[in-house]
């Protein structure tokens, strides 16, 4: 039997997925009633909606006026690939990876682009590579917040202002929840479906003047698919950054993104969004500090994410199991939470160490996070009791 009684209070919002993430509080389909449905995205009304999304993104993220912002295909993945295929190859590149998606960018650069002058700076789940060894005379590709490891860079202090190479930053689970130092970043990418709880399939790419200069002065050795092309005739295709998308966007998704941005602005903008994510993460971190069976996957507190919080089970009876046993225990715990209808999609990412991954971004209410914590204790103890009975 579990030592902790089965809780009688449940979170009102039980969606803790790390992508697509929970919709904003109070969201309903009525929020999309103003969508430009059945109209061309190239019509005046469509372009106005897309431009509004870009302008609100700039305002809330505090993007410098001379940086370009474009809405692009294929979510954050499409935005990152757009940057890699369009910008890399002019010089050597340092690839930083400490979780699944960062490792995926390494694979793309080495095996698909087949660049030869590539340095890999990698670390295991829970840690960062040695950032002091990065060579910023080269291009540098990194994730700001490792969505599958819950480990983030604490700030941009490791990036010099006088760098010669470009910094390409996958910020999909950091944008709108963490401070991004745009002066240190030449390319920033994210998708709507993370911190603001938007719908999938659309990405955003933000370019510094230095990145734009590279685009118009450098031609890659390989052909570029149409959806990756940001220049024509040696000039930047400015329309992309005014709402003239490369391919057809979903105007329903655009309306949903605008709704989330307006909600964020009403809260107080970026500062308020960060505060909400910090408060949610603190609930989890306080729970971890009070319970010896669970720990943050991030080794150092200053690198622990405030959005995709990844946790490992450190109870000695569970860690004594083999890898399959530990994974099955974690899956069983997650299954109990889902069966009870108190938390959905909180299992570890498929390539990550077994455990939990709980989304703590700004669309989550701290009160719901607090209500979830006792359920974690109950599920752990229930699952462990079942394990003991099976072994008896």
Q: Which of 248, 266, 284 is the last residue of a domain?
A: 266
Q: Please say whether the beta carbons of 355 and 338 come within 8 A.
A: no
* pLDDT tens-place string over residues 261-304: 999 999 999 999 999 999 999 999 999 999 999 999 999 999 99
Q: Which of 229, 249, 266 is the last residue of a domain?
A: 266
Q: Which of 266, 286, 319 is the last residue of a domain?
A: 266
Q: Do the domain assignments include residue 219? A: yes
Residue 2's pLDDT is 56
**At 171, which CATH number?**
3.40.640.10
* pLDDT tens-place string over residues 142-153: 999 999 999 999
Averaged pLDDT for residues 22-27: 98
- Structural domain boundaries enclosing 85: 29-266
Can you list the pairs that 368-371 forms with residues at least 24 positions away whose Cβ atoms lie under 8 Å? 368/11, 368/12, 368/13, 368/14, 369/11, 369/280, 369/283, 369/284, 370/283, 371/7, 371/9, 371/10, 371/11, 371/12, 371/342
Q: Do the domain assignments include residue 10? A: no
Residue 389's pLDDT is 83
CA dihedral angle for residue 197, residue 191, residue 275, residue 160, rounded to 10 degrees: 170
* pLDDT tens-place string over residues 164-215: 999 999 999 999 999 999 999 999 999 999 999 999 999 999 999 999 999 9
Residues 303 and 198 both lie in one domain: no
Averaged pLDDT for residues 120-129: 98
Look up residue 217 and give its two tokens: 């002065």
How far is residue 223's CA from residue 219's CA, in Å, rounded to a whole number?
9
* pLDDT tens-place string over residues 365-387: 999 999 999 999 999 999 999 98
Q: Do the domain assignments include residue 15? A: no
Q: Do the domain assignments include residue 129? A: yes
Residue 391's pLDDT is 76
> Quick one: pLDDT band at residue 126, thresholds 50, 70, 90?
very high
Q: Do the domain assignments include residue 299? A: yes
Residues 247 and 284 both lie in one domain: no
Averaged pLDDT for residues 340-345: 98
**103-112, 167-176, 240-249, 380-389, range with the lowest pLDDT:** 380-389
Residue 4's pLDDT is 78
Residues 235 and 107 both lie in one domain: yes
End-to-end CA distance of the chain: 14
Claim: this prediction has a pTM higher than 0.85: yes
């Amino acid at each position: 039997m579990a030592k902790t009684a089965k809780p009688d209070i449940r979170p009102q919002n039980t969606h803790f997925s790390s992508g697509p993430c929970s919709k904003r509080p109070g969201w309903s389909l009525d929020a999309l009633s103003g969508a430009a449905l059945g109209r061309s995205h190239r019509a005046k009304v469509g372009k106005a909606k897309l431009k509004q999304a870009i302008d609100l993104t700039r305002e809330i993220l505090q993007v410098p006026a001379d940086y370009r912002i474009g809405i692009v295909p294929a979510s954050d993945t499409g935005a990152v690939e757009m940057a890699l295929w369009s910008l890399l190859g002019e010089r050597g590149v340092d690839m930083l990876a400490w979780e699944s998606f960062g490792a995926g960018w390494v694979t793309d650069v080495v095996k698909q682009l087949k660049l030869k002058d590539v340095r890999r700076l990698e670390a295991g789940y829970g840690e960062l590579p040695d950032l002091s060894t990065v060579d910023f005379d080269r291009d540098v590709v990194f994730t700001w917040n490792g969505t599958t490891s819950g480990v983030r860079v604490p700030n941009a202090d490791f990036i010099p202002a006088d760098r010669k190479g470009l910094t390409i930053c996958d910020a999909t689970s950091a944008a709108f929840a963490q401070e991004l130092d745009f002066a240190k970043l030449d390319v920033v990418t994210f998708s709507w479906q993370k911190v603001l709880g938007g719908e999938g399939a659309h990405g955003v790419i933000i370019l510094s003047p230095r990145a734009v200069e590279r685009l118009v002065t450098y031609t890659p050795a390989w052909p570029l698919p149409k959806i990756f092309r940001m220049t024509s005739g040696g000039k930047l295709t400015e329309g992309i950054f005014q709402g003239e998308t490369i391919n057809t966007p979903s105007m329903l998704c655009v309306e949903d993104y605008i709704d989330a941005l307006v909600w964020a602005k009403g809260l107080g903008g970026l500062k308020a969004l960060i505060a909400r994510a910090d408060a949610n993460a603190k609930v989890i971190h306080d729970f971890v500090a009070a319970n010896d069976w669970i720990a943050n996957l991030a080794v150092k507190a200053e690198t622990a994410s405030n959005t995709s919080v990844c946790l490992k089970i450190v109870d000695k009876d569970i860690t004594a199991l083999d890898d399959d046993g530990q994974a099955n225990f974690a899956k069983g715990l997650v299954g109990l939470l889902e069966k009870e209808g108190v938390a959905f999609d909180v299992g570890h990412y498929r390539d990550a160490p077994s455990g939990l991954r709980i989304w703590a971004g700004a669309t989550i209410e701290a009160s719901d996070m607090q209500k979830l914590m006792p359920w974690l204790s109950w599920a752990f103890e229930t699952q462990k009791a079942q394990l003991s009975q099976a072994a008896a």
